[in-house]
Amino acid sequence: MINEDTKLDELEHVKKELQALLPLLSKWRVEELQQIISHHYTTKWKHRKFRKYGSLSKAFSQEELDKFFAVIKEDRFRLLYSYQAYCGLRVGEVCQLNVKDFDFNIRELRVKTEKAHTLDTLRVPQFLFEQTLEYIREHTIEIDKAQGYLFYVDKRHSRTDKPYIDLNYIRNTFRYYISLAGLNEVYDESEESVQGRTKRSLHRLTTHSLRHYAITKFNRAVGGDIMLTKAFARHREISSTQVYVHTSREELYSAIEHAFAIDKPIMKEMV
């Protein structure tokens, strides 16, 4: 997996060079280039072992979410993470929210879905909509300077030239608040087989865990209706949605107790 934090600019540069070069190449040259890339990919990653977290839930529990929001003092980040937790937005989607994306008359939000490259709409929950209106009123000047982006750049803490907050800053701030809330749980380390890479801690709760929470909560609210949940999650495939519907450890253990409570196995005496 490409390290997005350090390799994104390099990747974009290579991509632009390839786009400029491809029209100048013959068909067989393009096929040759494709084979080289394919060989490099399979050689580099064939020994990579991907860590599975099994039944460990990547979603926030309600108690954890309450603790998380309790330590967030800055309303900009409180609102940003709320859009992830209650609308299920990905971090790359939430950072670019603009006032132009809202139809304030019907509480509708237009979302440029990151992975599917589609334009979708969501209804903003009433409480979150009211918080958004209040936030916009209090930060009108900053939002106007940022070309309408809700989560404007604080030049004291960010080096980006973009008018909206960058992903690294969002993730680092998230990790700060998670630690402050006492929720910084590390469940394992990555297995890095590529030369030059170092192992890194794998945290159970990440910014994406807020999206996990949103989708799981929505699924329960609609009685497990997977089609409605798929629409809310803005997934192409139901299989993708199912990954986000979590069962807590307490629910699993309670179900085990209930399922086998009436069974009393006949134990044979040991001779």
From residue 265, give the alpha-carbon distance in Å to each of 102, 259, 261.
60, 14, 11
pLDDT reported for residue 73: 93
- Least confident range from 27-41, 113-127, 227-241, 243-257: namely 27-41
Residues 6+ apart with CB under 8 A from 207: 81, 84, 91, 170, 171, 174
pLDDT reported for residue 154: 79
Q: Which residues pair with 111 in a beta bridge?
A: 120
Residue 49 has pLDDT above 50, yes or no: no
- CA 197 – CA 191 distance, rounded (Å): 10
Tell which residue, 79, 105, 106, 108, has the closest CA to residue 94.
Answer: 79
Residue 174 has pLDDT above 60, yes or no: yes
Mean pLDDT of the chain: 83
Residues 6+ apart with CB under 8 A from 142: 152
State the sign of the Cα–Cα–Cα–Cα dihedral 11, 176, 49, 61. Answer: negative
What is the residue whose two structure tokens read 């030369």? 195
pLDDT reported for residue 3: 43
pLDDT reported for residue 157: 55
Q: Assign 189 a pLDDT band (cuts: 50, 70, 90).
A: confident
Find the mean pLDDT for residues 193-216.
83
- CA 260 – CA 264 distance, rounded (Å): 8
Residue 6 has pLDDT above 50, yes or no: no
Residue 1 has pLDDT above 50, yes or no: no
Higher pLDDT, 129 or 1: 129
Residue 249 has pLDDT above 80, yes or no: no
Instruction: Give the CA dihedral 42, 4, 229, 100, nearest 10 degrees.
Output: -140
Tell which residue, 155, 120, 149, has the closest CA to residue 136.
Answer: 149
What is the residue whose two structure tokens read 């989607």? 93
pLDDT reported for residue 11: 67
Percent of the chain with pLDDT over 90: 51
Tell which residue, 224, 207, 206, has the closest CA to residue 215.
Answer: 224
Residue 7 has pLDDT above 70, yes or no: no
- CA 194 – CA 71 distance, rounded (Å): 38
Q: Are 68 and 181 in contact (CB under 8 A)?
A: yes
pLDDT reported for residue 142: 95
pLDDT reported for residue 21: 83
Please tell me the CATH code under which domain 57-184+199-257 is placed. 1.10.443.10
Higher pLDDT, 79 or 188: 79
Q: Assign 22 a pLDDT band (cuts: 50, 70, 90).
A: confident
Residue 61 has pLDDT above 80, yes or no: yes
Domain borders along the chain are 57-184+199-257
